[in-house]
Amino acid sequence: KKLVVLVSGNGSNLQAIIDRCHGNNGIEISAVIANKEDAYGLTRAKDAGIEAVVVPSKGISDRSQYDSQLMATIDEYSPDLIVLAGFMRILTPEFVRHYQGKMLNIHPSLLPKYTGLNTHQRAIDAGDDEHGTSVHFVTEELDGGPVILQTRVPIFEDDDADSVFGRVQEQEHRIYPLVVEWFCQGRLNMANDKAVMDGEVL
């Protein structure tokens, strides 16, 4: 199976997927695409011998214009799966529909709680005693697609957003490659906006 991974920043989730999936069990990352040329994920891609491409979003204010450029670049690789790994842009409905059922995202919260940004701080401010991360299929609703896998982590009294972030990321690096593997094995799909695993609705 061919993957295209989209990043905007550090790319530690990309790294986990490279380490665990790339070149194994017929899984290949065909390209890593970033919207910013200084995204460290591009360096990680090159270090692994993977094509690293920038489709710069700077200076393009029109979302549809950007998304169609991005779509054209992605489609050059005819990927089976699009993996959003810290890609910090809201995608147009046209873009999302084009990859319906074959685009995954990881979001640092126990969805449906805390869609959007600053999730760690928001969980702390709310006095939550746990937080977590969710891998989900991407639908038109922001961070609203069906959840495939979630992990919980505790929030302790002396935690701050950074310490919770670190604890969450450790879990992200375990679960994202796992879900990518399931998808590539054909065990996972989306039907009627629901995630289905081994024929069972999750």
- The answer to the question of whether 20 is labelled as a binding residue is no
Is 90 annotated to bind ligand? yes
CB 18 within 8 A of CB 24: no
Min dist. Cβ of residue 80 to ligand GRF (A)? 21
With contact defined as beta carbons under 8 Å apart, do 162 and 115 qualify? Answer: no
- Minimal distance in Å, beta carbon 15 to ligand GRF? 7
Q: Is the N-terminal amide bond of 154 cis, ω within 30° of 0?
A: no
- Whether 107 is a known active-site residue: answer yes
Stretch 58-97 residues interacting with ligand GRF (CB under 6 A): 85-86
Report the residue from 3, 5, 6, 11 that binds ligand GRF according to the rule CB under 6 A: 11
User: Which two three-digit tokens encode residue 112?
Assistant: 């449906």
Which one of 3, 5, 13, 95 is in contact with ligand GRF (CB under 6 A)?
13
Give the range of 18-26, 53-61, 100-108, 156-164 binding ligand GRF by CB under 6 A: 100-108
Residues 101-130 that bind ligand GRF (CB under 6 A): 106-108
44 is in an annotated binding site: no
Indicate the angle between helix axes 40-47 and 12-20, nearest 10 degrees.
20
List residues with catalytic annotation. 107
